[in-house]
Structure 1
Amino acid sequence: MQETTDRPAFGAGVDTHAHYFGTDLVRALSGVTDQRWPVLVPGSEGTGRIMLGDLLFRTVRSVLWDVDERIAELDAAGIGLQLISPVPVMLADWADETVGVACARATNDSIAAAVGRSRGRLAGLGAVPLPHVGAAVEELRRVIVELGLAGVEIGTRIAGEDLDSPKLEPFYEAAQSLGAALFVHPTDGGGGVVRRAGQPYDFGLGMTTDTAIAATALVFGGVLERFPGLRVALAHGCGTFGWAYPRLRLGAKIFDGADPARLDQLVRSVWVDSLVFDPGHLSLLTHRFGPDRVMLGTDYPFIPGQLEGARGFLASAEALDPGQAARIHADNGMAFLGAGTANG
């Protein structure tokens, strides 16, 4: 039956892009002294600091680690379920295998504990030491089978390698077999991606370009063709990929003889979040990736206004019909979380 209301009838939302950093990691990883590993220092009056050695990386709010405070804000925003993932700086791709495994295991145990305390309000993505593929596959299996998390967050590049590196194929095979959700997120804040450094260039162009390059590796590098059951989402609305894709597709046809229709199918096999800051952009995302592949993402708790403004943001997207907006708010995120089952 077709909806006749002019505004979406939103139920409880599903936020698929949110980060968590547990205070339990300070003790669990006290032996990791490399200054590239972040340390959370809770402060007073609901604030804290993420430190990289003596360098302040970020000032944060206590909802980053306090599950009860987080749930109160989810209640106020009408969010029924939130998918939490590591703060990207916690993806320790710089580490040797021993340290990388220790960081990933502690991070995953911390996230699983937060999910367990949430009374069904949180789902979790973990981390894997992906430069060390054998260890990453082993930890991925533990994440899914033992900890019951939905999948893992990975970077847009892995220790300097793009996502179509042949070295990563055993990991993709395991993720497909286990039905693990993969969430692709920039790890270096957009630094070094475009020729202008600093802000707003890194945040505004670097991160979105980095994400688009990752998507290009997945689509044009053959990853999605070789692993058709892979369940993967890209942060920040897939960056600039949605805009660049027609030119990429034409180039692939001219220079490589690619089939544009097949490329379209591959593109529409991925999920993207709605974190694009302009409701007008949502029409392109639904056109490019499909109305069932765009899901709510807020980058909570780092970008003010995104969580509490999610309903209004989707409702103001004039190109979306009410059913599409409501699906982005909840149903599509649930599909991303529940689309796979382990069989390996």
Structure 2
Amino acid sequence: MKLAAHKLAGHLKNGPKAPLYWISGDEPLLVQEACDTIRASARQQGIETREVLHLDAHFSWSQFWEQVSNLSLFVSRKLIELRLYQGKLAAEGLKELVAYLGSPYAQDNLLVISSPKLETAQIKVKAFQQVQEQSVWVPIWPLEGQAWQQHMRHRAQTLGMQLTEEAVHFLQTHTEGNLLAAAQTLTKLQLAYPQGGALDLEQLSEYLQEDSRFSLFALVDACLLAQQARALHILAQLRASQHEAPLVVWALAREMRQLMHLRYHLDEGMTFASACKQVKIFEKRQVLYRKAVHRFTLYQLEQIHLLIQQVDLAIRGQHWVPPWDLLTCCVQIMARADVPDA
């Protein structure tokens, strides 16, 4: 079944009701929080053991079957997360999921799949529809306009703050509607104003001016503009201020996906303006993307995206290179003005 994102918490009130939940969308923060909601519900039902599998170049479905079948006398049910990095699962993968849902293992485990926005062709495939019949699919849509502002007001309230109307509009403009950047700003505002209460435009503007030098947003812009020295300096400051590495990964991965989509449309013959409209890039930021997209081929962008995925593995201790060292390598490549031929 297909379930709207805002109904997920209510659906899970008395625990997960399906053997499989598929969360898809291009808003990493909302996808992450939807997965968090499922995890919390699973824990309330006594599902404590959790395994995470990444569908990357090293993945094989034998790993999946090994995990779903590997239950002990002390573990009655297990939460298994399968993370996709594309909006499409190959026919083999869908076939494996159909087989899994028809097996006894589907009753012994709770499977959660997270992925970018699913391609239209994927949704129309018969095997995907078979999977959907026995599972819950939660598509996450980008928040825009009034919906974005309402979400930010609610998020601020949960942190003990009330943003004035002008402050919300300014936050949306400042972050160009980037939900992750806005949410991070609210979290840091809570630390800057621990007393909470109402925050107006003047307070928000003053804080953002002081903070913007070493923000994730500034890091991304420096990479797009090929300002390598500045990007590396900002990354070092983020590391020194004990920013969480996963937030940096999300920000860089999001920009790489945007660049890959943009490069793909340009290679297909679409004009730059039309491609930006298709990818939903704000007009004010198009000059940044114009400079960046012409420095890379699609293959090069895909290779950088794969490198960013390696950082995620390093964060979980599954890569021998420390995550911040890998992030430094990613930023060095993304912010290079002269990119070697693929």
TM norm structure 2: 0.28
Greater helix content: 2
**Higher radius of gyration, 1 or 2:** 2
TM norm structure 1: 0.28
Highest RCO, 1 vs 2 (Cα 8 Å, sep ≥ 6): 1
Greater strand content: 1
